[in-house]
């Protein structure tokens, strides 16, 4: 007995004659998505060609060929494709979606088009601005991990709330994310506004959806499939403000639109280590060494631009759970690395208080590169390399034979190299001071310690 599967692809078509057009525009070419019940890709192409011949249509190009299962795994469920698949039968093995005409390009001179607006707008906002008469209802998703008393607080409050984990286990619910409606003068609202923002307690949402609708929607995003493991999903902490801001920069536009479907805006409390995009509309962006008091009360509101809000909520809604591809996974990794570098640079300010912040960050970035070369990748190992870069210059392995011998040892573990570098660093300082009078100006500039540079 033959085994059939459902295949999908994107077709570029042309009509043999005007009567064969299945679209209203006066043009002979169109694009359409097709679903075919077939035993293989070759069988799919054969059945598609037969169906097109019967309709008086020519196939110019067929691309994005894959099974529906492959498509859903990569991009989530699509109601449109599911409906087409359900319409198929042994007698009707081919189903076409809406045929979209391809209009010829106008030859009339036109003005140079304006550059497209970025998919996301980032604007600074204050708590008081979230409760204007025209503002949508305000919700919070509070992280039970970073805010351990949220469940106890909600139990004694008269507010709309729901746990985003579908479990009855009390221990799990205590560390789960909680969705709660915020009123202007409610105790919960004032409690959240008073929490330190660098506690990363959660995010704010503006939405006209009901509690049930929001809870059902957000639960789809609590688990995430990544290229790192295609056997099981991982927890996706989109309610951590750092992750939420990364998500807006890392996800494909249609996936961000899927997440934002019932939301007007998403709001995060600013913290010093956040990877805030350069295009954010801030009065002054907080630097990584800022204190928690300097950013307290400053909120960043994220909203999709008008061109991004024209989204099909059915076709963009994920199925089993959210899926990201390799490109998005890499973007998340870059943003996470940026935060880690800023955190380490912040820690170094305690020891190198007079060193310019830009030099601290440059030393951390240089130590990351050196660590990749010499196999020192843990936080402690990179921190030791950063200290060497700050005091001896980021090319110190070239000028200090003992350090180079440690770093280039072929059989030494990273932790051992780090211990030896820490023990050697005082001798390196002495060597630098002894050799300083004998260096000419050019040599001095080549590996002058970052920590010795003057503040511009």
Cα(347)–Cα(410) distance, integer angstroms: 30
Reported pTM: 0.68
Say yes or no to pLDDT of 298 above 60. yes
Same domain for 63 and 168? no
Say yes or no to pLDDT of 444 above 70. no
Cα(286)–Cα(386) distance, integer angstroms: 23
Give pLDDT, residue 437.
Answer: 77
Residue 38 lies in a domain: yes
Domain boundaries, position 17: 5-101
Chain-centroid distance of CA 301 in Å reads 16
Give pLDDT, residue 36.
Answer: 94
Give pLDDT, residue 19.
Answer: 87
Same domain for 134 and 12? no
For Cα atoms 258, 264, 267, give the angle at the middle one, nearest 5 degrees: 95
Cα(364)–Cα(387) distance, integer angstroms: 9
Residue 107 lies in a domain: no
Say yes or no to pLDDT of 93 above 60. yes
Higher pLDDT, 312 or 13: 13
Would you say 377 and 337 are in contact if contact means Cβ atoms under 8 Å apart?
A: no
Residue 434 lies in a domain: yes
Question: Can you give the chain as a three-state secondary structure string?
Answer: CCCCEEEEEEEEEEECCHHHCCCCCCCCEEEEEEEEEECCHHHHHHHHHHHHHHHCEEEEEEEEEEEHHHHHHHHCCCHHHHHHHHCCCCCCCEEECCCEECCCCCCCCCCCCCCCCCCEEEEEECHHHHHCCCCCCEEEEEECCCCCCHHHHHHCCCCCEEECCCCCCHHHHHCCEEEEEECCCCHHHHHHHHCCHHHCCEEEEECCCCHHHHHHHHHCCCEEEECCEEEEEEECCCCCHHHHHHHHHHCCHHHHHHHCCCCCEEEEECCCCCCCCCCCECCCCCCCCCCHHHHCCCEEEEEECHHHCCCCHHHHCCCCCEECCHHHHHHHHHHHHHHHHHHHHHHHCCCCCCCCHHHHHHHHHHHHHHHHHHCCCCHHHHHHHHHHHHHHCCCHHHHCHHHHHHHCCCCCCHHHHHHHHHHHHHHHHHHHHHHHHHCCHHHHHHCCCHHHCCCC
Say yes or no to pLDDT of 112 above 80. no
Same domain for 286 and 237? yes
Give pLDDT, residue 436.
Answer: 76
Residue 337 lies in a domain: no
Q: Give the confidence band of 296 by pLDDT, cuts at 50, 70, 90.
A: very high
What domain count does the chain have? 3
Q: Which of 48, 72, 101 is the C-terminal boundary of a domain?
A: 101
Residue 108 lies in a domain: no
Mean pLDDT of 135-147: 94
Give pLDDT, residue 434.
Answer: 84
Give pLDDT, residue 3.
Answer: 73
Give pLDDT, residue 72.
Answer: 80
Q: Which of 329, 362, 377 is the C-terminal boundary of a domain?
A: 329
Residue 109 lies in a domain: no
| pLDDT tens per residue across span 316-350 | 344 456 889 999 999 999 999 999 999 999 999 99
Same domain for 403 and 279? no
| pLDDT tens per residue across span 391-429 | 999 999 999 999 999 999 999 999 999 999 999 999 999
Q: Which region among 294-298, 339-343, 386-390, 440-444 has the lowest average model confidence (pLDDT)?
A: 440-444
* CB environment 309-347: b (16+ within 10 A), e (fewer): eebeeebbbbeebbbbeeebeebbeebeebbebbebbbe
Residue 338 lies in a domain: no
Give pLDDT, residue 122.
Answer: 93
- Tell me the percentage of the chain whose pLDDT exceeds 90: 59
Q: Give the confidence band of 156 by pLDDT, cuts at 50, 70, 90.
A: confident
Same domain for 91 and 128? no
Q: Give the confidence band of 285 by pLDDT, cuts at 50, 70, 90.
A: confident
Say yes or no to pLDDT of 116 above 80. no
Q: Give the confidence band of 439 by pLDDT, cuts at 50, 70, 90.
A: low
Same domain for 158 and 282? yes
Q: Which region among 44-53, 100-109, 359-368 has the lowest average model confidence (pLDDT)?
A: 100-109
Q: Which of 300, 329, 358 is the C-terminal boundary of a domain?
A: 329
Would you say 263 and 207 are in contact if contact means Cβ atoms under 8 Å apart?
A: yes
Higher pLDDT, 87 or 450: 87
Same domain for 168 and 287? yes
Same domain for 55 and 186? no
Residue 195 lies in a domain: yes
Same domain for 237 and 201? yes
Same domain for 357 and 304? no
* CB environment 96-108: b (16+ within 10 A), e (fewer): bbebebbeeeeee
Q: Give the confidence band of 446 by pLDDT, cuts at 50, 70, 90.
A: very low
Same domain for 304 and 256? yes
Same domain for 198 and 290? yes
Question: What's the mean per-residue pLDDT of the chain?
Answer: 86
| pLDDT tens per residue across span 176-216 | 999 999 999 899 999 999 999 999 999 999 999 999 999 99
């Amino acid at each position: 007995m033959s085994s059939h599967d459902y295949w999908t692809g994107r077709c570029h078509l042309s009509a043999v004659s005007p009567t064969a057009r299945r679209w209203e525009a006066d043009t002979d070419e169109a694009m359409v998505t097709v679903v075919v019940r077939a035993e293989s890709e070759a069988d799919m192409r054969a059945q598609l060609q037969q169906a097109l011949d019967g309709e008086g249509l020519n196939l110019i190009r067929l691309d994005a060929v894959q099974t529906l299962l492959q498509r859903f795994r990569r991009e989530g469920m699509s109601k449109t494709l599911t409906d087409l698949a359900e319409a198929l039968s042994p007698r009707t093995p081919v189903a076409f979606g809406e045929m979209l005409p391809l209009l010829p390009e106008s030859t009339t001179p036109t003005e140079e088009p304006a550059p497209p607006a970025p998919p996301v707008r980032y604007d600074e906002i204050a708590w008081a601005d979230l409760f204007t008469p025209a503002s949508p209802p305000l919700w919070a998703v509070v992280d039970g991990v970073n805010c351990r008393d949220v469940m106890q607080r909600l139990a004694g409050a008269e507010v709309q709330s729901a746990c985003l984990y579908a479990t009855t286990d009390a221990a799990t619910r205590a560390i789960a994310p909680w969705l709660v409606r915020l009123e202007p003068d409610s105790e919960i609202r004032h409690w959240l506004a008073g929490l330190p923002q660098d506690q990363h307690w959660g995010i704010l949402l503006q939405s006209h959806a009901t509690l049930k609708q929001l809870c059902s929607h957000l639960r789809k995003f609590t688990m995430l499939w990544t290229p790192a493991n295609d056997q099981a999903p991982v927890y996706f902490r989109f309610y951590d403000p750092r992750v939420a801001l990364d998500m807006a920069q890392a996800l494909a536009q249609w996936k961000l639109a899927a997440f934002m479907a019932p939301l007007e805006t998403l709001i995060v409390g600013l913290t010093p280590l956040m990877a805030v995009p350069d295009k954010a509309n801030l009065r002054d962006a907080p630097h990584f060494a800022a204190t928690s008091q300097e950013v307290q009360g400053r909120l960043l509101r994220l909203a999709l631009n008008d061109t991004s809000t024209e989204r099909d909520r059915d076709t963009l809604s994920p199925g089993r759970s959210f899926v990201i591809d390799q490109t998005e996974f890499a973007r998340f990794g870059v943003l996470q690395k940026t935060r880690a570098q800023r955190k380490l640079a912040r820690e170094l300010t305690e020891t190198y208080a007079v060193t310019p912040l830009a030099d601290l960050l440059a030393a951390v970035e240089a130590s990351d590169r050196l660590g990749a070369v010499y196999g020192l990748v843990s936080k402690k190992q990179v921190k030791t390399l950063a200290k060497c870069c700050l005091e001896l210059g980021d090319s110190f392995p070239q000028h200090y034979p003992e350090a180079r011998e440690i770093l280039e040892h072929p059989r030494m573990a990273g932790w051992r190299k780090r211990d030896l570098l820490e023990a050697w660093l005082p001798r390196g300082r002495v060597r630098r001071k002894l050799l300083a009078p004998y260096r000419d100006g050019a040599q001095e500039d080549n590996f002058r310690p970052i920590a010795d540079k003057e503040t511009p």
